[in-house]
Amino acid sequence: MMGVMPRVSLADVAPSIPLGPLDGRYRPVVASLVDHLSEAALNRERLHVEVEWLIHLTTTGAVPGARPLSEAEQAYLREVVATFGADEIAELAEIEKVTVHDVKAVEYFLKRRLATAREHLGDGTALPEVSELVHFALTSEDVNNLSYALMVRDAVSEVWAPAAQALVADIAAMADEHRDVAMLALTHGQPATPTTLGKELAVLAYRLRRQLGRISRDEYLGKLNGATGTYGAMLAAAPGTDWQAVSKSFVEHLGLVWNPLTTQIESHDWQAELYADMARFNRVLHNLATDVWTYISRGVFIQIPVPGATGSSTMPHKVNPIRFENAEANLEISCALLDTLGATLVTSRLQRDLTDSTTQRNIGPAFGHSLLAIDNVRRGLARLSVDTDMLATELEASWEVLAEPIQSAMRAAAVAGVPGMENPYERLKDMTRGQRITPDRLRAFVETLGLPADVARRLAALTPATYTGLAATLVDHLE
């Protein structure tokens, strides 16, 4: 095409340009997940599993003739994991270029460290002699399933759950602060029985906290039983060993729940369960984001401007609810990924296929988009104030909502034998539906009903702002 100059190839720019936003503009928010759900974290966890398996084999005497490793030897091996950093990542990548197999590369990497152990520990070390116990009788999935379980467990407990808990604490604090702030409820978008802002926030905090409770009880399963889950290679090598006991004790040593019955792969059902719970948390949070966005659009919440920030490129007055809109989008992306993970991981053809391998590499983005949304909601909530004058004005303009307590009091009076209480619902409907109701008109109507004096006085004193029932007290359920 004439007049078009060739462009710089952005793919060749150094340092590398991120393909996605989580490793670009949003990196500071989600960086803590890199320690748990990145490619490098996966390889570090694989190395951890291989090291612990080697120690476990020698400690339990599972393989006859292998002596227990000394404390210094065990410490050396664990230090290999603890010091796994940039240089080691590069070295492992070079090994993988040759093996074209990621788990085998980890095995060779660890064997290199065993070969050089005497340089660090002296001539007394036996680590080079136990080199063939590295990856002993394992299939790659024995290493991978345990690694992913450890990665996901720690990503939840150390990063995602603390962020989610802090968010729920923020919402609960807002609910307590605004427990007495009366507001007009809207059901079907129409004026309805008044509530309090605090009670409505408490509903969302309670829902989110319940999902966190489910997530806290989710199990992280692991297996170690060979190429098709039969312990075949282990029995062939050491038929006198109780390999099920060795497997169970090893998986539990890692802090996981032992799965005794699998194919070549751990079935991943626990992952599907966890991701379903996380997706449900996301969806409740999405509900909060859309509700708060609506409250902002109605003027219930006023956004506190960020100094120097721009709301609109052309309309200087605007303060857009971008935190909640950003959260909505990221929650939808996270849910889509979590749903796909849960649906894909529970299925494997016969004894093994590799669909789970590439699928699990997307756990990080699923967590990342959720974490980003949590951060946005927290930041958005922190810059809100409540327009109590607006809420009071709206309530004062909605006296028709008192038709409900009046007809309910008439029903109770009818049950008590008070005459003239027939058809209370229908009479209030005729009076209020589609009509403008004033305080004087409503009170005059109450006076004509013939209600017991104490009931009439109570209803006459009622206003939309005071007709909030137990709303303020219900916030206490968050405690």
Q: Is 188 a catalytic residue?
A: yes
Q: Cα separation of 328 and 223, whole Å?
A: 37
Show the beta-strand stretches assigned E in 360-410: 384-386
CA 287 to the chain's CA centroid? 14
Q: Cα separation of 27 and 460, whole Å?
A: 59
Q: Is 312 a catalytic residue?
A: yes
List the one residue out of 50, 159, 175, 174 whose CA is nearest residue 113: 50
Selected catalytic residue, list 9, 188, 313, 385: 188
Separation in Å, CA 448 to CA 166, 292, 445 = 54, 42, 5
Diameter of the chain by CA atoms? Answer: 105
**Preceding amide of 15 cis, omega within 30:** yes
DSSP state of 183: E
H or E element that contains 328: helix 322-345
Q: Cα separation of 329 and 471, whole Å?
A: 31
Q: Cα separation of 471 and 459, whole Å?
A: 19
Selected catalytic residue, list 101, 312, 357, 477: 312
Q: Cα separation of 337 and 240, whole Å?
A: 45
Q: Which two tokens stand for residue 123?
A: 């001539």
Q: Write down the residue that tokens 């002296």 correspond to.
A: 122
Q: Write down the residue that tokens 């906290």 correspond to.
A: 209
Residues in the chain: 479
- Indicate which residues carry an active-site annotation: 188, 312
